[in-house]
Amino acid sequence: MRKLVRLSIAIGGFLIVNSLILTGTVFLILLNLIDVGVFANQTHTSVLTLMFLAIGVLDFIAGIILLLKR
């Protein structure tokens, strides 16, 4: 049961980080600080994908550490 709680905390942390990034991006677009066309560029899209992948991998590793920690 304790491992399930730690797993849910890790998944919740991952979702919070992703929602903060997406919310920040939306606010930057609404304030006209970045152009929506930035996301149409293939290079920028690849960089954003790699950033989200890196965050996911780091959060997964943190979840594994939480599960293995006693």
How would DSSP label each residue in 16-59? HHHHHHHHHHHHHHHTTSS-GGGGGSHHHHHHHHHHHHHHHHHH
Share of the chain above pLDDT 70, in %: 97
CB under 8 Å to 24, separation ≥6 — which residues? none
Query: What is the CB neighbour count within 10 angstroms for residue 66?
Result: 15
Q: What is the pLDDT, as a whole number, of residue 70?
A: 63
- Cα 19 from Cα 13, distance rounded (Å): 10
pTM above 0.85, yes or no: no
Q: Which of 12-26, 28-42, 55-69 has the lowest mean pLDDT?
A: 55-69
Does pLDDT of 23 surpass 80?
Answer: yes
For the cut 70, the answer to whether the pLDDT of residue 32 exceeds it is: yes
What percent of the chain has a predicted confidence (pLDDT) above 90? 1
